[in-house]
A = this chain, B = another copy of it.
């Protein structure tokens, strides 16, 4: 389903592929569902806020990490990028899991690559819970560039996205597809209950803390309630 729940100056669209038999990749892999959303809101300051996010949740037949991508843009010269393979186990108690999905895959090198770009600096989400949910090699960065570019000219931000963000994102998504979504890692029945509990808690908290606090501010309580209600349906389906 694809829904456009709001008007033109404030738009929110999301897609939830819950019935995924027609998607070959989902057939072959262990994906539960993919949630993509596009938020556009004109702010009282005159600026526009654009948030694009894509979360891919694996089912409980595997304990491999989920995929999280979020791009937040509140001006033409700045960008916040969140790109992570979110762990589904407590990494402190499971160092073998850390080794398999984060150390062996050398994921941190992609974070280090972006860190070398002069305009890139670490980004700290205001939600402590979100900071707990991400992995130690999560890419959470803010890119702030100069705005002195004529209309139609490509900006420094465009350059950074094309030459730094894009190749890094492609590599990280490649690792997720090959080693997580289609990695063929299966868990036993006892682990399934743990995964379902932890996954469920993350979904509930994501709505409560992250979306539940920002959406009413952006869209007003009524519209926010409708949007969050639809997401809740997908999460608890």
Contacts and interface: CB of A to CB of B under 8 A. Distances in A.
Contact of A121 (B90, B103, B121, B205): B121
A9 to B, nearest CB: 33
Given A121-B121, A122-B122, A202 B92 contact: yes
A137 interface: yes
Contacts of A121: 121-122
Contacts of A102: 128
Contacts of A108: 128
Main secondary structure of the interface of A (DSSP, over half): helix
A138 to B, nearest CB: 10
**How many copies of this kind of chain does the complex include?**
2
A201 B93 CA distance: 7
A129 B137 CA distance: 10
A185 interface: no
Contacts of A131: 136
Given A92-B198, A93-B201, A122-B122, A98 B132 contact: yes
Interface in A121-135: 121-122, 124, 128-129, 131-133
A197 to B, nearest CB: 7
Interface string A199-237: 001100100000000000000000000000000000000
6 contacts: A91-B129, A92-B202, A98-B128, A98-B129, A103-B128, A131-B136
Given A90-B90, A91-B129, A95-B129, 5 more contacts: A92-B198, A93-B197, A98-B129, A102-B128, A121-B121
